C-alpha cells in the first residue's frame, strides 16, 4: 500500500538526513572507505514482524546514491518471519553507510507500530469492532505513524483537530456541561459529526438528546459498556477508549461497541529488530 498522497517523501528524507549529517557529513565513512568502493547489503528481519516504511528506506538510500540497485522483497503490511529478507541493495559504499541509520531507524520504528497494531487487530478479530488509532503520536511523525497503524490492521481516527468535533471532559468542564458543549458545537455549523466523550451511563441520554452523532465511552468496564450498548440501541456509533491493553481489548470489543481506540499502538510501540548486513563487492 503506498504512502499517503499528501505525504512529502522528499522533504522528510532531506530533513532526517540533514539531522544525521550535520554540517560535516559522515566523517567516519569519508575517512575509512575508499572513494568508489561498492558494497552489497541485505536488510532482514531478526524477529517476526509486520513491515512498514520500506518506501522511505528506499528513498533514503536513493537520495545519497541515485544509482543504487535495490530489490524490495516484501511489501508494507506483510507479516514476515524471523530472518526474512526485506530488501537487497548494491551501490556506493560511503553513501550506503551514511544512509543506513536513517533508513533503519524509520523502518524499525514504523514496523514496530505495525507489529504491535497487528496484535491488537488479531485480538478483536471476529467481534465486529473496528480497531482505531489516536492522535497520540510523536510530533512531526503523525502521518507516518498512522500509516504504520493501517499497515498493522487499524483504521485511522482523526488525523488532525480539524478532522472532526470531539468534545472531551475538559471541553465539557469549560462549557459547564455536556448539553451546553454539544449545543455550542452544533450551532457552530462546522459540517462535521459531533462526537462526545462520556464516562458515566447517566451522561448518555443528555448527550444524545443534545444532538451527539457519536459517543466515546471513556474508561468503562465491559459490563458498563454492555449496558451502554443496550441503552443506545444503535442510535449512534459507540467507541470504547481509555486504558485498553492486549489483556482487556477482547472483552471490550465483545461488549458490542462499534470501535475500540488504542493510544498504545502509536504511543508505546517498541522498535523491532531489523538488521543490515554488508559484503564488499568485487571490483
Q: Which residues are catalytic?
A: 101, 136, 168, 197, 218
Question: Are 230 and 205 spatial neighbours (Cβ–Cβ below 8 Å)?
Answer: no
In this structure, what C-alpha cell is assigned to residue 67? 544509482
φ, ψ for residue 58, nearest 5 deg? -60, -45
> Please, what sign has the CA dihedral across residues 47, 101, 151, 85?
negative
φ, ψ for residue 42, nearest 5 deg? -125, 125
In this structure, what C-alpha cell is assigned to residue 172? 465539557
In this structure, what C-alpha cell is assigned to residue 99? 544512509
Characterize the bridge pairing of strands 69-72 and 85-92.
antiparallel
Amino acid at each position: 500500500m503506498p504512502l499517503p498522497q499528501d505525504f512529502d517523501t522528499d522533504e522528510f528524507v532531506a530533513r532526517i538526513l540533514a539531522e544525521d549529517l550535520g554540517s560535516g557529513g559522515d566523517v567516519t565513512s569519508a575517512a575509512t572507505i575508499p572513494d568508489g568502493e561498492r558494497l552489497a547489503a541485505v536488510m532482514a528481519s531478526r524477529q517476526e514482524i509486520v513491515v512498514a516504511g520500506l518506501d522511505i528506506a528506499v528513498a533514503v538510500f536513493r537520495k545519497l546514491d541515485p544509482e543504487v540497485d535495490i530489490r524490495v522483497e516484501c511489501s508494507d503490511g506483510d507479516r514476515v518471519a524471523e530472518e526474512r529478507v526485506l530488501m537487497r541493495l548494491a551501490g556506493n559504499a560511503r553513501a550506503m553507510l551514511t544512509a543506513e541509520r536513517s533508513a533503519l531507524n524509520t523502518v524499525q520504528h514504523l514496523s514496530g507500530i505495525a507489529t504491535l497494531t497487528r496484535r491488537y487487530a488479531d485480538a478483536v478479530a471476529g467481534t465486529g469492532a473496528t480497531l482505531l488509532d489516536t492522535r497520540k503520536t510523536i510530533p512531526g511523525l503523525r502521518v507516518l505513524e498512522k500509516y504504520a497503524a493501517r499497515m498493522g490492521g487499524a483504521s485511522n481516527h482523526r488525523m488532525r483537530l480539524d478532522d472532526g468535533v470531539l468534545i472531551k471532559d475538559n471541553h465539557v468542564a469549560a462549557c459547564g456541561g455536556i448539553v451546553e458543549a454539544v449545543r455550542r458545537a452544533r450551532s457552530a455549523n462546522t459540517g462535521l459529526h459531533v462526537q462526545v466523550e462520556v464516562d458515566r451511563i447517566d451522561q448518555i441520554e443528555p448527550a444524545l438528546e443534545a444532538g451527539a452523532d457519536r459517543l466515546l465511552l471513556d474508561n468503562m468496564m465491559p459490563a458498563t459498556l454492555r449496558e451502554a450498548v443496550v441503552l443506545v440501541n444503535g442510535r449512534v456509533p459507540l467507541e470504547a477508549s481509555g486504558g485498553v491493553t492486549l489483556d482487556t481489548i477482547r472483552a471490550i470489543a465483545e461488549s458490542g461497541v462499534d470501535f475500540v481506540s488504542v493510544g498504545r499502538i502509536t504511543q508505546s510501540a517498541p522498535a523491532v529488530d531489523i538488521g543490515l548486513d554488508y559484503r564488499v563487492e568485487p571490483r
